[in-house]
């Protein structure tokens, strides 16, 4: 147009950048929503309870140990997580802790985006938004409230410091990385395995290697000891204790020093471009940390294959190495990749079991890439370079989608009936607010998901630091269920009701004492009447102390004298996982059972003419109860079956024989309470479970 300003079309670069910005915003929104949903799904388990009790012990009993929960090999995590728990309990409860946890996760993703954009480009940073969350979920414990969930933020700060050190060769960045690594170790002691790698990189690349290594050591040791002196002392004792492991680590350390000296003499990193140097270090980190997890698992007789959480330090190197090929992708391939990632983030909020489903596949992926890096280095005569093929990123994107699949093909009943953290906290607080005690709650609580609030009942006990508790047999029962709001309104005896969504509520129903006495049940690995050996049957010891952590109640095999051989030490986590008790004659029964268990539960009917309906079964995915036989009491119903009725026409006592399958390694005090016993006026509570079968 004459006399006017000439209009210009936006440049191709501005259009491309605008499109990437829009995609990044969309994926970021999906990321935040998926992360918030995953946090809302969190449960409280025994580990959560132990850490809560450590925090309460410091803030209420004023007995503060500068270490957290114990791990394997005599090591303890630092006290950072416990301090955060104590802070949250003072400022509003565990919901505050979940909010902080979510904020740390979002900030860690933002920093990851910035780092990848700086070193691999904007397209790579955008693509990382879709795979970062599933990757982090599967190397932490996001299904429950646990210390490793706070790791992503300090971990990415560490890797950011290392990359800046590799770029600028300034010792200050190595020192800052050491501070971040100390923060990681105070949360999760597993990150001690990164220390040799960290010092090796500093020794290779610092202009003054001795000063750089010394400064890095000081920057790691001082914060770690100031925050977690007891944990540092335990680590030092394990490291310097005379043993084959200590000798092996000493020899490995000496070889490591010799290798670093030779590589520095050859100026390995200095002869590379910045891109090649960073790629080599990230690939080496992936190889070293993956190999360390496998070697430690084999050498120290830990689970093999290693648990996915052992690979937490290697999660960012894996993401970096696999993302290095994205800048070379064509436009169409990149669009397809982003589309699949958007679908993965869209599905993730509907897949609460994704953090569990992805653990095994992630171990395989980590191991496969480490082996590929090792083979590639061998072919290239020691050169560790990122993968040029886009197969790695494609595999990560497929992993991000794949972790959601099990929830759609075989949805877990846990999400429908279990009580997530905020629900359980409100239920337990309501019960304690009404004057119920921990022994009363433990002995009377029943329902298909009642065990999902046991950890909170133990850790939030108002009398946690009072006199020792013992099991009691209350003259009432507390039935815990999630029901439709209409069903809650018509239920008799509701003492607590908490809305969980727009259509359901969690209710606690107080009833007369249950006819079945689960705490005196006999549990056998052989059916009654079949040949058995010592140790095949076990019982709960009702007179032993009721603990607040670990094995809440004592269990003995019926062939041995009544005794309590649980670990009663003051150290949290200082105990093995629950196992089938070893018989008194020393014949080990072979660990926990995989097959069906046969349970004989005492039954007493008072003869008041108030019929009770009994239905068994929990929320464990494959758990089933079948009533096989009823002796000594009048009943109605088909046998074998999942539901029977006691008319209660006269006083009587007898037993119910039950076959229980699919409980895995869950301890008896959890699944023995997986039943619903109601009077006929509350029989409507059974309808949703009858329909589910």
Mean pLDDT for the stretch of residues 439-461: 93
Task: Give 507-535 pLDDT, tens digit per residue.
Answer: 999 999 999 999 999 999 887 767 667 67
Q: Is the peptide bond before 305 cis (omega within 30 degrees of 0)?
A: yes
Mean pLDDT lowest for which of 208-217, 236-245, 467-476, 501-510? Answer: 236-245
Who's near 322: CB < 8 A, 6+ residues apart?
369, 387, 392, 393, 395, 396
Compute, in degrees rounded to 10, the torsion defined by CA atoms 393, 395, 400, 402.
170
Alpha-carbon torsion (233, 180, 383, 396), positive or negative: positive
Position with higher pLDDT, 142 vs 589:
142
In this predicted structure, the answer to whether residue 41 has a pLDDT above a threshold of 80 is yes
Instruction: With cut-offs at 50, 70 and 90, classify the pLDDT of residue 302.
Output: confident
472 in Cβ contact with 439 (< 8 Å): yes
Q: Quick one: DSSP state of residue 546?
A: B
Mean pLDDT for the stretch of residues 384-399: 81
Q: Is the pTM of this model over 0.75?
A: yes
- The two tokens of residue 254 are 């000496």
Residues 273-292 as b/e (b if ≥16 CB within 10 A, e otherwise) read eeeebbbbbbbbbbbbbbbb
Mean pLDDT for the stretch of residues 333-338: 93
* H helix or E strand, kind and range, residue 302: none
Among 51-65, 262-276, 297-311, the range with the most confident prediction by mean pLDDT is 297-311
In this predicted structure, the answer to whether residue 53 has a pLDDT above a threshold of 90 is no
In this predicted structure, the answer to whether residue 37 has a pLDDT above a threshold of 70 is yes
Mean pLDDT for the stretch of residues 461-480: 90
Average pLDDT, the chain: 84
Task: Give 273-288 pLDDT, tens digit per residue.
Answer: 888 889 889 998 999 9
Pairing of strands 504-512, 494-499: antiparallel
Mean pLDDT for the stretch of residues 400-407: 92
In the chain, where the domains are located: 12-409, 413-693
In this predicted structure, the answer to whether residue 448 has a pLDDT above a threshold of 80 is yes
454 in Cβ contact with 428 (< 8 Å): no
Who's near 163: CB < 8 A, 6+ residues apart?
115, 118, 119, 278
C-beta atoms surrounding 40 within 10 Å: 16
Mean pLDDT lowest for which of 36-45, 53-62, 131-140, 176-185? Answer: 53-62
In this predicted structure, the answer to whether residue 244 has a pLDDT above a threshold of 60 is no
């Amino acid at each position: 147009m004459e006399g006017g300003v000439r209009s210009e079309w936006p440049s191709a670069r501005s259009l491309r950048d605008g499109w990437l910005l829009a995609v990044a915003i969309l994926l970021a929104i999906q990321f935040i929503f998926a992360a918030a949903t995953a946090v809302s799904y969190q449960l409280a388990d025994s580990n959560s309870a132990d850490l809560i009790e450590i925090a309460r012990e410091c803030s209420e009993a004023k007995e503060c140990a500068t270490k957290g929960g114990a791990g394997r090999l005599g090591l303890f995590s630092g006290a950072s997580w416990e301090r955060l728990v104590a802070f949250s309990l003072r400022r509003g409860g565990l919901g505050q802790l979940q909010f902080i946890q979510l904020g740390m996760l979002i900030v860690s993703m933002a920093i990851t985006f910035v780092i990848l954009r700086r070193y691999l480009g904007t397209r790579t940073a955008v693509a990382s938004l879709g795979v970062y969350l599933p990757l982090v979920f599967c190397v932490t414990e996001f299904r429950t409230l646990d210390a490793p969930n706070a790791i992503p933020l300090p971990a990415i700060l560490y890797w950011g410091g290392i990359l800046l050190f590799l770029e600028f060769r300034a010792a200050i960045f190595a020192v800052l990385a050491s501070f971040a690594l100390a923060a990681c170790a105070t949360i999760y002691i597993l990150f001690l395995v990164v220390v040799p790698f960290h010092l090796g990189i500093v020794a290779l690349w610092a202009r003054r290697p001795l000063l750089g290594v010394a400064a890095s050591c000081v920057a790691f040791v001082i914060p770690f000891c100031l925050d977690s002196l007891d944990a540092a002392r335990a680590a030092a004792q394990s490291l310097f204790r005379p043993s084959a492991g200590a000798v092996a680590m000493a020899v490995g350390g000496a070889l490591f020093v010799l290798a670093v000296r030779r590589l520095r003499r050859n100026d390995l990193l200095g002869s590379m471009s910045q891109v090649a140097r960073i790629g080599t270090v990230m690939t080496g980190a992936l190889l070293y940390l993956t190999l360390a997890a496998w070697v430690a698992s084999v050498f120290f007789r830990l689970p093999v294959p290693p648990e996915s959480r052992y690979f937490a330090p290697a999660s960012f190197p894996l993401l970096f190495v696999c993302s290095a090929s994205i800048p070379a992708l064509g436009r169409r391939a990149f669009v397809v990749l982003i589309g699949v990632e958007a679908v993965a983030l869209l599905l993730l909020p509907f897949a609460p079991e994704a953090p569990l489903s992805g653990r095994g596949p992630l171990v395989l992926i980590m191991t496969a890439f480490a082996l590929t890096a090792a083979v590639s280095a061998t072919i290239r005569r020691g050169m560790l370079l990122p993968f040029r093929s886009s197969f790695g990123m494609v595999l990560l994107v497929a992993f991000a989608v794949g972790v959601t699949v099990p929830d759609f093909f075989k949805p877990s009943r846990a999400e429908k009936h279990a009580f997530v953290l905020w629900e359980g906290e409100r239920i337990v607080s309501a019960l304690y607010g009404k004057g119920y005690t921990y022994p009363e709650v433990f002995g009377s609580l029943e329902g298909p998901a009642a065990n999902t609030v046991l950890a909170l009942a133990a850790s939030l006990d108002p009398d946690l630091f009072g006199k020792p508790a013992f099991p009691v047999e209350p003259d009432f029962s507390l039935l815990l269920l999630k029901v439709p709001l209409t069903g809650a309104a018509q239920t008799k005896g509701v003492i607590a009701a908490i809305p969980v969504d727009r259509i359901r509520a969690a209710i606690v129903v107080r009833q007369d004492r249950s006819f079945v006495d689960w705490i005196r049940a006999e549990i056998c690995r052989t059916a009654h009447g079949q040949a058995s050996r010592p140790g095949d049957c076990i019982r709960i010891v009702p007179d032993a102390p009721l603990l607040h952590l670990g094995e809440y109640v004592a269990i003995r095999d019926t062939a041995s004298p009544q005794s309590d051989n649980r670990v009663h030490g003051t150290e949290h986590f200082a105990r093995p996982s629950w196992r089938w008790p070893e018989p008194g004659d020393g014949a080990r029964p072979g660990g926990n059972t995989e097959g069906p268990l046969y349970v004989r539960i005492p039954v007493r009917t008072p003869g008041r003419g108030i019929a009770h309906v009994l239905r068994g079964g929990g929320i464990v995915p494959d758990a089933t109860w079948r009533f096989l036989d009823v002796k000594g009491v009048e009943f109605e119903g088909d046998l074998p079956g999942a539901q029977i009725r006691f008319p209660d026409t006269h006083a009587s006592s007898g037993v119910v024989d039950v076959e229980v399958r699919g409980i895995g390694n869950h301890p008896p005090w959890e699944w023995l309470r997986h039943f619903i016993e109601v009077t006929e006026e509350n029989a409507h509570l059974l309808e949703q479970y009858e329909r589910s079968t």
